[in-house]
Structures are given as structure tokens and as C-alpha cells.
Amino acid sequence: MEKTLIKVLVVDDDPALRQLLADYLNRHHYDTLVAPDSQDLEARIARYAPDLVVLDRMLPAGDGAEACRRLRQQGEDIPVILLTGKDETVDRVIGLEAGADDYLGKPFDPRELLARIEAVLRRKKGASALIKEQPVEFGPFRFDPVLRQLFRNNETIKLTGGEINLLEALTRNPGKPLSRERLLALARDDDEGERNDRAIDIAILRLRRAIENDPKQPRWIQTVWGVGYRFSP
């Protein structure tokens, strides 16, 4: 069975560096995507679903740290490694406060970047596994991500695969507003065909009908106007 490659999105305005990193990471069995700036970064993440982003701080369209901060404010938890030409303490602090998982100053050896990517992915995988194994209880409900089932007072509530994916995305990010694009990527189910923003809204409505006393005044799955939805346990 063919192994699925880990996808890395490299965002840097230096075409030579982009090509160098893409070639190097591809030789080490990564699927590398490249972009020259952070414009439409959220859309790229939603469309291509990379496993990690390597993001330059100094970009023509704005600060990479601010782009990272926007991702975190929207509930996006994809790992981010920031690159910068200023390898100083204050810049590291700014990057980490923006929500970056790691920080690497230029110039750097591609081998060091590869080692940091692997370390960040290991940490992410370990944390995700711990979170995913634990059932989530809210009100009379219990969602078991291992069994991929939702129970109400020990009775199974029938949901589609896409609705289960959506519920898992919401419950794994309690209190975080998740954009429709992010939910679209997380809840994608190949068995249900192409999804779009409207499909997410319909799936949210179905989930609300399954768990809310009054779907028009939801308690558990709340609308965040201008962003998307939030699970509020």
C-alpha cells in the first residue's frame, strides 16, 4: 500500500530558497507546496490541507508573524515554523507569542529545518493522539472519537461520516472559533462528494437538530458571526 506523503507548505518571497527547500524536502519524502506570499494563506491551507507551514516573517504582503496570529485567532492549529533574517531574542518572542511552534533564523542549513519539522510533527502527533483518544462529554452526550459515535444517555445517535468528522473537529477545539474553510478541510469526507461552505452550514444544522434542545438558539454549537462556528462545552 502506498504511503501518504506528509505535506509541507513553504511560504517565502525568495524563489531560489523556495526551490532549494522544495527540492530538499521532496528528496526526504515530503510533498512540498510553495507560495511567494501570505495572501490567501487560509484558503491555501483549506484547499491543500498541508500538515505544516514554513512561513517567512518578512514578506511583501505583510509580516509572517501576523499571518500566523490570524490563523490562531481563526482557530487554525496547523503547526507553523517561522523563518527570519533577524535571529534575535525579541523576534523569537514575537513569533512564539503569535502562535508559532518553532522559529529558525536565516541563514540556516536545510538539515536543521528538516530536523525541526520532524520534531514539531512528533509533538503534534503525540498531543493529537492523546486528545483524540479521550471521549468528550457535554450535557447528556458523550462523543467517542475512537468508536466515531455520539451517544445520548448511552443511546447511539446516527450521524453521517462527514457529520462525525465535523463534530470531531469542533470538540477537539473547544471554545475556538473555526472558520468554514477550516471546517471544510477538517470535515472533508471523500464518500460524500465535494463539500462547500453551504454543505458545512447544512451539516451544522443537522448536528444542531441532533443535539440541541432548540436548534435556533444553540447551546453547544454556536455561530461566530463573520468567522464560522464554535463548540462551547
**pLDDT digits 0-9 by tens, 104-148:** 888 889 999 999 999 898 888 766 655 566 888 999 999 998 888
pLDDT greater than 60 at residue 78: yes
Compute the distance between CA of residue 70 and CA of residue 43 in angstroms, rounded to an integer: 13
- Topology of domain 134-231, per CATH? Arc Repressor Mutant, subunit A (1.10.10)
Cβ neighbors of 84 (< 8 A, separation 6 or more) are: 56, 57, 58, 64, 91, 95, 103, 104, 105, 106
What are the pLDDT digits (tens) for 18-37?
999 999 999 998 999 999 98
Give me the residue spans of the domains in the chain: 6-131, 134-231
pLDDT greater than 90 at residue 221: yes
- Topology of domain 6-131, per CATH? Rossmann fold (3.40.50)
| pTM for the full predicted model | 0.62
In single-letter form, the type of residue at position 75 comes to G
Q: Say if residues 115 and 135 touch (Cβ distance below 8 Å).
A: no
